[in-house]
Chains A and B, each alone.
Chain A
Amino acid sequence: MRSILLALLAVAGVAAAIEPGQPINFSHKIHAGDNKIQCLFCHSGARRSTVSGIPSVQLCMGCHRMAAVNKPEIARVRAYFEKKQPIPWTRVVKEPDYVFFNHSPHISRGVRCQECHGPVETMTQTRLDHTLSMNVCVACHRQRGVSVDCYTCHR
């Protein structure tokens, strides 16, 4: 009996970290960590929109026309661009559809990206290793004295 329970708990535990495979071995560590590129340089939507946005292939090529052109992963990015195909990234962070999270007020009030997304600049493969539950949102909102009205996120 106990073993069944433990097995079930183990299954539940695995679900806690999401580290999906990606079509290109993109490393946030190289970009945001080693080269200190600002998050908002690629995810510029976060400044003024609800969604931060995934950079266009054109934006990737803006640098990689010159930078690291010989790397095999960059060759794959170039292939997508030349074939005029989008890169089918696998989603890492997802909110349920009844949550209306808006990036821009968080960014404009100086919330650091890492506070929700974790230390992305250290990740060679992007993962989410904690839960973005309502509890996390509400705790932070309480701590900063921001509205915890349900309509803030649900409507």
Chain B
Amino acid sequence: MSETNRRDFVKILGIGSAAGLAGCTRTAPDTLTPYVVPPEEMVRGHALWYRATCRECPAGCGIEARVREGRVHKVEGNPEHPVNGGGLCSRGQAAVQGLYNPDRLRTPLVRGAGGALQPASWQEALDAASALLAKARGRKDAIGFMTGASAGALDDLAADCLKAWNSARRIRYEPVAYDSVRAANALCFDRPGLPVLRFAEARAIYVFGADPLETYVSPAGYTRGITEARRAGARMVFFGSRLSLTGARADEWVAGEPGRLAMALVRELTAGDARFAAIRKWAEPFTPERAGLKPEVAQKLVREIRANAFLAVAGGVAASDLADAIAVNLLNHVAGAINKTVRFDRASSLDTVSSVFDASGLDALLVVDANPFYTAPPKAAAGGPKIVALSSYPTETTAAADIVLPIHTPLESWGDYEPWAGIHSLQQPAMLPVFETRDAGDVLLKLSGASGEYRDYIRARWKKFASADFESFWKDALKRGGHWEDAPAREVRLTGADLSAQLKPLLENASGYMLQTYASLAHFDGRGANRPWLQEMPDPLTQVVWDSWAEVNPDDARKLGVKTGDRVRLRTPQGQLQLAAYVYPGILPGTVAVPLGQGHTNFGRYANGVGVNAAALVAQAPDPAAGGVRWSGGRVEIERVDANGGLVVISGHDLQESRGIARSRLTGAGAPAAAEKREEPELSIYPEHEHKPYRWAMAIDLDACTGCGACIAACYAENNVPVVGKEEAARGREMSWIRLERFFGPGETVSAPFQVDLTLMLCQQCDGAPCEPVCPVFAAYHTQEGLNGQIYNRCVGTRYCSNNCPYKTRRFNWFQAEWAAPLDWQLNPDVTARTRGVMEKCTFCVQRIVEAKDRARREARPLADGDIAPACAQSCPAAAIVFGNVNDPASRIARLQANDRRYRALEELNTRPAVSYLERERRI
């Protein structure tokens, strides 16, 4: 055998690998499968959009589902919809992760002889359900029909079903039901429903413990209204014991008990006013001192209320007492807001729901797309009703059911929903079912013994809305997303009933710690917990991922010997929980706050065992005053257990250290003059970049941004951003291209009075980008249009770019990203799914830029301002993000860059970013 010397060996190695590479580029032949008969309208490579209704919470926002090659990839807001007008929150964005959830139910389940749920065929399961219902039908009112908020065809169908089943036991269960607000409106105005809140018309918005920017009734719509009001100069004040995200976005936080504060304002407003003599008498004991309101603050607020269009909002999970809601009603009344900004023109779909339910005396309970046993676990006692659950996912309720029927998710179903009377929002399937599930409507029609399909049932119901030809009306309605009717103005008057007894509880002082639960921004009442994006997106205020926590005031924490991350035990008469503590300066001493929505036991791999279920601390029984669950206000004992809370807080630092990253300024009468604008000279030793014909740039209005995180979820969806899980997130390896930065003070200490500054940090697309010159392989480079390009197939993973980025917005793929099937069906075919060892970052959604340019070229027109909206800008319910071409002086972005609130982050580094921010205003 001839000896192979080193030189020959290297040669062979080289040629061998060249041959291997040739084999790589010419991959093994694969099959191209054409259609036999192509579907109408579909062109491969082109997206189709289907309008529908979001059912991730009861708000009923309009959505558009983007479909490519028969699969839904992304959900966006429907700009024509009266509820949300184009924006969509993070929970709505995550609907696709419900659709493709790997833990979805795939077959019907029937409880077998051994007591365990066994897979069954559809025929077997439907036969079993029919037999169960036939047996129960013999006795009157022995069958219960439970849904969540469900105004529309499903409600009609439920009534038909119950009629066929000889029962009248209709249950509409929502854990967050706003019972106190509705009860207060019944007492005060004889209208047992939620008001229509016209935020956009108000100039003084007072929020009492509610969270209209997070989960309250219709957050995407309210965010839009509040932003509109702010742009017109409105001021927002938050009253409450815990600074929620809504509170953090308010101009002023008046800390205290919301009901007492409202009554103190009522007292001051009615002083010496003969029109309100009775109310003044009820308000007499509520002196500002008793509410903890400084007299000069009270006087200032009173002046503001008198001078401006006023709107006060109360209720929700964090302030669920009847007295709070009554106090705010009285405040709205004496401030003249009723029938103006607070109206009762339209009934809400939530007017008929309840946060408690009664299943006693039932032989069978049909639960359609609700999960009552997560919040209110079934009593252990035997002899409860047999349960038939129609659900898309395994839930705590399906675990307790006797028959489980897997149904389509909303994106696969026909349906309609009427969130507010007269706003008929349609749902149509955006794609064929992912699994062998069925439309809940079709199953119910079958079980009720009716014939036909649910789609025809809905169409028959909709005939009454059509004025002329139904087919063209129906087509238009599907295209528009629904049918909107005007609502005649309906005035209400104060009933004049004596409310002093109902206000009494506000005068009581209790000792010990008060428990405040609140609906989670990410998971709401728990129904979003199986969406991995929502688990991985940090809570905006605490920056915690994949967990629950108990917020404790720093003074209390000192007394209890608790630090952030320690494990604490919370105990109430209802139960006890162990969870991590989070020391939060935005909560009053004596209050402990816990978010709802985690701690699932049967909700799939992303939810099970993550955090704790705060509902276990709260009596799931009607509060005698409001008639619903009293989520907050009860007493709780807290003690430290150990240091092993296992909390993952992903923010690096709580303070800005005077670096001016998230800036705000005081405005209004008495505000100090704005500081002299510091203009950093733009210097470069390199030749200037010539950006033509476009120079893309973004402006983020921090005065509009609420920190809700809709942009983050939209970015995950649009750009195939992987989810890494709690363990890797703890190592700082989360992949989100947008970071919501939260600071507790602009300087070196926590600010007093406490304030929270929020900003979005994403790739700043610098003109003088530090990432570009350090890349040894030109994977990071400057494009002609001013983007910091990142070419994945060129990247070799040195991570130099990330090390050199002062904004720390680049993300490295430490592992091969995995999408549990069929979550991978959601991946955007226009964006590369990155491999291990590759750096990635925000691209300004370059695929959308290219797509818009192509479209303009096809239509033989120049690109217009507003043609391109990156996913973040598109989704923003507050329209806080503006994107465009700064080379065009007439563009919105060019005008915003001339705004005097404009600044750029870390400007002193001379990176000359294309992302600018508009300072937040704190109006005094």
Contact = CB atoms under 8 A, between A and B. Distances in A.
Q: Name the interface size band of chain B.
A: 35 or more
A122 interface: no
Interface stretch (A64-72, A112-120, A137-145, A146-154): A146-154
B43 A15 contact: no
B15 interface: yes
B54 to A, nearest CB: 29
B45 A150 contact: no
Interface string A85-101: 11111111010111010
Interface in B1-53: 2, 4, 8, 11-12, 15-16, 18-19, 22-23, 25-27, 29-38, 43-46
B12 A8 contact: yes
Contacts of B847: 100, 155
Given A15-B26, A48-B858, A149-B783, A80 B31 contact: no
B34 A54 contact: yes
A54 B15 contact: no
Given A48-B858, A155-B832, A87 B34 contact: yes
Contacts of B12: 4-5, 8
Nearest to A148: B784
A124 interface: no
Interface in A1-44: 1, 4-5, 8-9, 11-12, 15-16, 18, 20
Q: Is the interface of B mostly helix, strand, loop or mixed?
A: loop
Contacts of B784: 147, 149
A76 to B, nearest CB: 14
B43 A150 contact: no
A58 B37 contact: yes
Contact of B789 (A51, A81, A151): A151
B45 A50 contact: yes
B858 A56 contact: no
B513 interface: no
B15 A108 contact: no
Contacts of A97: 832
A58 B36 contact: yes
Interface string B824-837: 00000011100000
Contact of A88 (B19, B33, B37, B857): B33
B23 to A, nearest CB: 6
A155 B784 CA distance: 15
B31 A89 contact: yes
B830 A100 contact: yes
B32 A98 contact: no
B34 A5 contact: no
A108 B855 CA distance: 12
A84 B34 CA distance: 11
A57 interface: yes
A91 B29 CA distance: 6
Contacts, number: 138
Contacts of A20: 29
Contacts of B33: 54, 86, 88-89
Contacts of B2: 1
A91 B37 CA distance: 20
A15 B792 contact: no
Contacts of B11: 5
Contact of A81 (B16, B36, B793): B36
B157 interface: no
Given A58-B38, A88-B33, A151-B789, A104 B850 contact: no
Given A1-B8, A149-B784, A57 B36 contact: yes
B854 A102 contact: yes
B843 interface: yes
A56 B38 contact: yes
B335 interface: no
Contact of A98 (B8, B30, B34, B792): B792
Interface string B434-467: 0000000000000000000000000000000000
B431 interface: no
A135 B220 CA distance: 49
A56 B15 contact: no
Nearest to A8: B15
B36 A90 contact: no
A96 B25 contact: yes
Contacts of B34: 53-57, 86-87, 89
A88 B31 contact: yes
B35 A57 contact: yes
Contacts of A151: 783, 787, 789, 791, 843, 846, 850
Contacts of B857: 105, 108
Chain A to chain B: the 5 pairs with minimum beta-carbon distance, closest first: A50-B45, A49-B45, A54-B34, A12-B19, A98-B793
Interface of B: 2, 4, 8, 11-12, 15-16, 18-19, 22-23, 25-27, 29-38, 43-46, 781, 783-785, 787, 789, 791-794, 830-832, 843, 846-847, 850, 854, 857-858
5 contacts: A8-B15, A8-B19, A56-B36, A105-B854, A150-B791
